[in-house]
Structure 1
Amino acid sequence: MTASTQPLRRLRLHALALALLSACAAPALAATPADAAKISPEVTLKLIDLLVAKGVLTRGQADDLIAEARASAAAHRAPAVAAQPAYQTAPGAVVVPYVPEVVRQQIKDELRAEVVQQAKSEGWAAPNALPEWTQRISFYGDLRARAEDVLNDGENYREFPNFAALNAGSGYDVADPVANPVPYVNTTKNRGRMRLRARLGMHAQISDGVEADLRLASGSDRSPVSTNQTLGAGGNLSKYSLWLDRAYVRLKPTAWLSADIGRTPNPFWTSELLFDNDLNFDGVAAQASFRHSSDFKSFVNVGAFPVFNTDFDFGSTQELDKESSRDKWLYGAQAGFDWAFAHDMSLKAGLGYFLFDKLNGQFSSPCLAPTSKDVCDTDLSRPQFQQFGNTMFSIRNIVPAQGAPNGPQLQYFGYASEFGVANLHAALEIARFDPVKIVIEADVVKNLKYDAKRIRALGPLNNFKPTFDPAATGVFDGGDMGYYINLLVGQPKIEKAWDWNASIGYKRLESDAVPDAFADSDFHLGGTNARGFIVGGSLGLARNTWLGLRWLSANEVTGQPYSVDVVQLDLNTQF
């Protein structure tokens, strides 16, 4: 018998029980003594006992229904009439007892109530039920309102080139910096702004082992590391854009293995030392988790992600032949464990390696003084998005045009270092004072493909050792290491009113330890070549609603002075 027919079978048996109860009272209401004798109350009660034994009715239910039936029969007993001649029936005929109207209505009401209750509890039918497919879709999201102050030190160096702006146009004319002035980063003037982050996602359980996820997010621009929308940035109360933040299919062939394809969340367990929390990944990722015992499990995460794909028509608009592809990829692998080595203490650790293939700039072959419509063969080696801190160099090998040695020389800039980042990440959680927890987090990165000698040969344009000796200027002073340590006390995740946490951490990230494009976008206003403290805390106001306050104080690691404090007051809610 299938699960779908079981409820109907139980209802039929219950209806039979009610009919038998009615029959138990029927002799008192029968038209003649002969009718009353057709069904024996003793037989009826034995049948009811059999239904109780089979589990159709409980003993309490049977006793209550018998009492109700007898009371109903007594209340509606017909007045005595003169004896009538007994009706003659053929041998073996079945006599159906008379059931009073009140008993029939009682049976109908009880059956209706039981059907509705059973349908709701078992989920096989309900009045006005939604279609089945809606039960496989759920929505989630979050909203954050932020007040932010950016406080620059008045003694900061003023002439930090804005390489992102230089690379975004048709090239910077190095032959005439007067007519084509260098754009600089704002390092001296304070700013205050209100910001909004809104994200709305939909998760669908397509079938067993197949899921899909789609999320939209706000954002002032196409930045991969920020979904903040600065209020008033568009002017005149103009509307804001929504971006496709995530869109992926998840395959789960087994309970311990899953694979994501599309624009996926970060599949690796990392801190913002390496990847900003808002960063999502384009490509394919697989995650495996193995439970070895009740208190120890291990995990392995791998992925391949196209960071940049060459434009189909990349090449000079003046030439028939186009340039070869220069696609950029990120390949990552991480292994680790989660170990509850005591009833109130656990340790999680992960070791990973992340190869950023062709992310570095490449010096071009000789390129005849390009115009704004021309390209050199390594133009796509410049970063399509960057923040601040990595060492840069000029990537175009420009050959001045004959007869015009002082003509325009449009230049682009690329990362001087290659990137192959080893990462060790660990977190110790102490729950001895539950619900207050203590979490100590540490993270270390080292760029194994960093080569200071190679960078010097390329002619770096920034990250020089600060000195007041003019004869010692231009000495490259980059680095390949970074670390972060943080102490948190309270509830790591705020879920209800009066949940709280407080934290203090220290971060140091040298110039070329990681690509500046993907690191934390708040500390030192984003990127690398920064060191300093992060102090913060959160307080729950209601269910999934909390206030957060952070102070990020950062200075440069090397180069000219650049100190900036960022203060953020957040109101967060999620659903």
Structure 2
Amino acid sequence: MFKLKICKGGVRMLKKGFLIGAMAVATLMGGMRSVAMAEMSDQEMRLLALEEKQNANAELLEIMKRFTWKGDLRLRYQGETREQPNNVESDRDRYRLRFRVGADIHMLKDLDIGFRLNTAGLAERDSGNQTFDGGFTHRAFDLDQAFFRYTPSVAGWNTTWQGGKFDPPFMRSEVVFDSDITVEGISEQFSKKFGNTQLDANFGQFVYDEINSGDGSDDIFILGYQGVVTQKTDLGKFKFAVAYYDVANAEDPLSTFSGTTGFNTNSEIKMLDFMAEWSEKVMGQELKVFGEYEQNVGKIDSADRTSGDLNSAWQVGAKYGKSGKKFGDYDLKVIYRVVQANSVLDTISDSDFHGSNSNGRGFEAGGSLGLAKGVQLAITYFNTQEERGNKDEREILQTDLKFKF
């Protein structure tokens, strides 16, 4: 048997030889490609460049297919009249706009990313309006939503898991949440159908305010729990919801909590909310009748008691029709609402009803007319006054031209 022995110097020489050989092969291949490119005609070069461009465009198109864009523009005239004690009256006319644009981006199976920009401005939470004022100055355009949405099926239940900044994940009205509010935190939703019955369970854990005062005060959270039952019958569709919203640590006297009515932070805010809705087709259009009762079951501080706890809110209303799909379609609505002083967290409730304050009662009436697909003309009228206390009567007329895309 022969054994081949190579000294260390020989190994180094072999490695060097292999390296030189590899470089020679690479140089030869590059030279051959250069020769081939040189031998190509101008037409062949153009065809090659076109093919590469088409491949790049195809890749970009595949990426763009993952985006579902959406947005809206609203132009508004708002006229306001207010009458206070001693017959003091004030009038105000405002011309306003709201513009929102965003997209849902499909990442993986059951996983989407969403975002939206809005003209709200960093100091706003319950309105995207920008009033025409300030000598043609530029308008704020800020992040309004940014979230992930994961929608797997678990044990026969459709589930939705969200995190970030997004719409409140509840069956809701503007008694508790203004329509422009976007919460910040996480949520979990579960839904399942049993024949003509659908069950939904919605949960949310949101950060309202992070306290960094160094005095031992706690952060403010909003924790939401809701159950919903939807039942289809020969008499129409019925929907019932029960929710509990706990504004945790709002009663901490050290928290820098602020509301439009000076809601005392020594009082607890724990809202128990009941909603009911019936809908049915009437003369080819959907008729919806609804009602809601909400009560703050938290402890009310003695400083907030004037004549009792004043801790409930309720509304009843009806809506007929639906507009926005084509020319000539329409909807009409009317709502009567009462919101007592200690009933809701008024910094996130309806910003149009009684100046975004609690301690109000009155009605809202309005309607909209479709001018084309995605184009609406809407009119809304509010007439409210103080639920208790001094005279404070307000009238608001809003005329909106809306474009949805």
Bucket of the pairwise TM-score, normalised by the shorter protein: 0.7 to 0.9
1:425 aligns with 2:327: no
Of 113, 119, 123, the match for 1:218: 119
Per the normalisation by structure 1, the TM-score is 0.58
Residue 40 of structure 1 corresponds to which residue in structure 2? none
- Following the alignment from structure 2 to structure 1, what is the Cα–Cα distance between the partners of residues 56 and 140? 41
The match for 2:46 is none
SS of the residue corresponding to residue 256 of structure 1 reads strand
Match of 2:312 in 1: 481
Deviation at 1:157, TM superposition (A): 6.6
* Secondary structure at 1:525 match in 2: helix
The answer to whether the Cα contact below 8 Å between 1:345 and 1:432 also exists between their aligned partners in 2 is no
SS in 1 for 2:65: helix
What is the alpha-carbon root mean square deviation over aligned residues?
2.1
Residue 225 (structure 2) aligned to one of 330, 333, 343: 333
Alignment of 1:553-572 (within 5 A): 553-572=383-402
The structure-2 alpha-carbon separation of the partners of 1:292 and 1:157, relative to structure 1 and needing over 3 Å to count, comes to farther
Supply the distance in 2 between the matched residues of 1:521 and 1:256 (Cα, whole angstroms): 33
| Structure 2 unaligned residues grouped into runs of 5+ | 1-53
User: 1:448 maps to which residue?
Assistant: 297
Aligned to 2:12: none
Contact 2:324 2:372 in 1 (8 A): no
| 1:333-482 alignment, distance < 5 Å | 333-342=225-234, 345-362=236-253, 378=254, 381-384=255-258, 386-388=259-261, 391-392=263-264, 415-434=265-284, 436-451=285-300, 455-456=301-302, 459-460=303-304, 464=306, 476=307, 478-482=309-313
1:227 aligned partner, one-letter code: G
Displacement of 1:572 in angstroms is 0.8
Report Cα offsets for 1:479-532 as digits up to 9, x if no partner.
Answer: 0111011111222x5321111011111000100111111110001111210000
Residue 257 of structure 1 is matched in structure 2 by 159
Structure 1 unmatched runs, 5+:
1-124, 159-186, 316-322, 363-377, 393-414, 465-475
Quote the offset at 1:156 in angstroms: 3.1
| 1:128, distance to aligned residue in structure 2 (A) | 6.0
Distance 1:192 1:249, change over 3 A: same
Residues of 2 paired with 1:285 and 1:252: CA distance? Answer: 12
Name 1:284's counterpart in structure 2. Answer: 186
- The answer (yes or no) to whether the contact 1:518–1:527 under 8 Å persists in 2 is no
The 2-side partners of 1:438 and 1:277 are apart by: 21
Name 1:324's counterpart in structure 2: 216
Which string of whole-angstrom CA distances, capped at 9 and with x for unpartnered residues, describes residues 248-287 of structure 1? 0111222700100011111011100111011111000011
Structure 2 CA distance, aligned partners of 1:222 and 1:569?
25
| Contact kept? 2:211, 2:256, Cα under 8 Å | no
Q: Does 2:156 correspond to 1:156?
A: no
User: Percent of pairs identical after alignment?
Assistant: 24
**How many angstroms does 1:440 deviate by?**
0.4
Task: State the partner residue of 1:144.
Answer: 74
> For 1:505 and 1:267, how far apart are their aligned partners in 2?
23
Structure 2 counterpart of 1:236, from 135, 142, 146: 135
Deviation at 1:416, TM superposition (A): 4.2
2:324–2:371: 8 Å Cα contact kept in structure 1? no
User: For the Cα contact (< 8 Å) 1:477–1:558, is it kept in 2?
Assistant: no
Q: TM-score, length-normalised on structure 2?
A: 0.81
Aligned equivalents of 2:331, 2:401: Cα separation in 1: 15
Distance 1:262 1:199 in 2: 18
Give the equivalent residue in structure 2 for 1:266.
168
Counterpart position of 1:407:
none
For residue 399 of structure 2, give the secondary structure of its aligned residue in structure 1. strand
Verify the 8 A CA contact 2:360 2:386 in the aligned structure 1.
yes
Output the amino acid matched with 1:265.
Answer: D
Is the CA contact (8 Å cut-off) linking 1:156 and 1:563 kept in structure 2? no
Contact 2:187 2:202 in 1 (8 A): yes
- When residues 304 and 497 of structure 1 are mapped into structure 2, their CA distance, relative to the original with a 3 A threshold, is same
Which of 306, 310, 314 is the aligned partner of 2:211?
310
Change (3 A) 1:539 1:267: same
Aligned residues: 348
CA gap 1:348/1:126 in 2 versus in 1, 3 angstroms: farther
**Aligned-pair distance for 1:324?**
2.4
Q: Work out whether 1:246 is the aligned partner of 2:96.
A: no
- For 1:433, the aligned partner's letter is M
User: How far 1:361 sits from its partner (Å)?
Assistant: 4.7
Q: Partner of 1:174 in structure 2?
A: none
Alignment match, 1:44: none
User: Match of 2:312, as an amino acid?
Assistant: M
State the distance in 1 between where 2:266 and 2:89 align. Answer: 27
Amino acid at match of 1:258: T
Counterpart contact for 2:376–2:401, Cα < 8 Å = yes
Q: 2:185 & 2:250 partners in 1: Cα distance?
A: 16
User: Which of residues 526, 529, 537 in structure 1 aligns to 2:359?
Assistant: 529
Give the AA of the match of 1:306. Answer: V
Structure 1 residues 392-447: Cα deviation after superposition (integer angstroms, max 9, x where no partner): 4xxxxxxxxxxxxxxxxxxxxxx34211111011211111422x121101111011
| Alpha-carbon distance between aligned partners in 2 of 1:220 and 1:282, rounded to the nearest angstrom | 16
Higher strand proportion (structure 1 or 2): 2
**Distance between the aligned counterparts of 1:382 and 1:481, measured in 2?**
25
Q: Does the CA-based 8 Å contact 1:220-1:230 persist in structure 2?
A: no
